[in-house]
Structure 1
Amino acid sequence: MPERAWIAVDAMGGDDGLAVMLAGVARARHRFDDMGFFLVGDESAIRDGLKAHPNLAQHSEIVHAPEVVGSSDKPSQAIRRAKVTSMGVAIDLVKQKRAGAAVSSGNTGALMAMAKLSLRTMPGIDRPALAALLPTLGDNDVVMLDLGANTECDARNLVQFAVMGAAYARTTMDLASPRVALLNIGSEDMKGTDSIRDAAQALRRADHLPLKFTGFIEGDRLSRGDVDVIVCDGFSGNIALKTAEGTARFVADLLKRAFRSSVRSKIGFLISKPATQLLREHLDPNNHNGAVFLGLNGLVLKSHGSANERGVATAIGAAAKMVRDDLTRRILDDLGSVESRMPAPTPSPRSTADAA
């Protein structure tokens, strides 16, 4: 096998099936032609699908997995079949160090549970977190975590999330000292839970880290571009994410309805079409696809199940950049410098993966 970085792709995951996954990988290969791809799933079906992408076939290796994790499968059920499912085999390739990252569009809960059980959390991390990039009005996207892996978090968890999120921002957006904020119900120091206030105190003292803690941020400022990393527990983060996505769809549908309401509106639409197209591109989730489970001894990324081939390519591109920039090592280096200043861990709350 040639010396190159490899990414394992769960080719059978996703709502639209194998064809979209292969098209997405082929699209990503043109941007990252030095990467190799393990295509995991039904060998016969993948081989047939590769006939439409001969160039990808030259840069990939098929790894057979006879079963698929269903969208309704419970994590506990998926774990028992990990060794024979495309999702489980893709993660195992990361564990074996054969792949630098795994990408799947399948069941989120199963992916989280399998990844945590197989790869384990890295030293200095109590719980992994799900992080993703969200669009903003600023020059860069914003990293937000946790987006659903942990329903409750203590101060120690939140500080660890901040360290991991900052390392992710430095890698993804080439920022020397990312601006980090804690999601809260107000910007004043006395606002929020004890965990949030304690985490803020710890981050204010962490002036040795390559990040700039800016304090608290409220939900209405998520997309303003004021910060580079937003830290929260998984319960709040998932609600905030779904609310933001729903608002984006609401605005797009409202504009569509308004432009169709009259002849004058239709004329106005033709005049403003370049601007509306820019808005559509900026809000399109396929341009921001690829959430990563940070804090594991290996990289696992979750692609939207409904992602089209452009979205799949975006997720794979994000994985390739993380592998190239050795994101896991960066997180470990930062954790080593903060661990000695952290308070002793408290009993960890249950995660959504545990609950399942």
Structure 2
Amino acid sequence: MLVKKLVATARDHWVRRNMPMHVRARDTRQTFTEILGEESLKGHMLPTGPILELMDVLAGSIAAHVSRSSIATISFDRVDLIKPVFHGDLVRIEGEVISLGSSSIAIQCCGFRHDLLTGTYQHTHSGIVTMVSIDRFGKSRKGLPQLFDEDRADYCIQMRETAKQRLDLAARWRKEQADVDQLPFISADQIRMVDGKNEFVPVKDTEMELRKWILPKNLNINNTMFGGDLLTWMDKAAVYCARNFTKNERMVTIAMNRVLFKLPILASDVVTLRTRVTNVRRYRLEVEVEVYITPVGERVSKKSHSGYFTVLNVDDGGHLKEIEKGLVVDESSQEDLKTLLKAQKRWEFEEEDKNLLRLKPLELAL
């Protein structure tokens, strides 16, 4: 055991000593291609989960190549659906590093589906994934190179500025959410609801819970759960919660925002996913998903992940369908009002969020 530790320490030291000072964004580009979904469901819209899995695997491969170390997913800052993907489609995910911190790596991922009729690739998804370089103890490992390309100096400067703006935006977002918790009282007139709803239910009546056990296929080389697998679980839970609310099977995730990975999920953990509807618009709604882990033999659970999924309501023909149900605004339930006000502030924040996080799509690599 001692020899293994000494070898691992020597290897870490060798990697740090031989880490380049700079890396070019173009040299980090990788592409994964896969045929997704079930052949028996060909032509039906594919859930977002398989796309998220592919993005997570690609981002992990890029981050591991740049850091020359083990890596872990720490957030999916935002993922947007541009066009639907269908079962049986050939999907291509392009990824490239857009910023490097001392130990963090932000990667832009763009999804494309191959159109059989035209032979072209159509842009379907955009997202930003943040990874962190870790050592053998699971701690962040600093010393990453800087992102620089003398042939694209303006681009590198722009990406560094964008990275700073993203950090500032995330800090403001957290502060606005935290400030709501400090309010002594929230009045009903602070909540702006959408007109045209025929029925109203309390937030607590939309809550659902799933409990799952990890299988060996869900574990990565760090013996923790694959981030992509968990994202698939979260997406399925969010969509089912949305369907239960609208009583409509035809719902699809169109955006995923601020999915944070706070704690690793180990093989011995029981995973609980708790969902609730927090905001209802005309055609879409927001579902909050919180993930809790409970080690086997223990009673205390810890929150490990959280995120917000925007789910669109459509009819059998794929056209927008109005959501007739809304959420109750009742001053006697201050916890529900805090949930509604936080969701309202996230909605107001969304346009600025999209403008900063929705970058120009990556061009297809040759």
Same fold, TM-score > 0.5, yes or no: no
- Bigger fraction of residues in strand: 2
Q: Flag the structure with higher helix content.
A: 1
TM-score, normalised to structure 2's length? Answer: 0.23
- Normalising by structure 1, we get a TM-score of 0.23
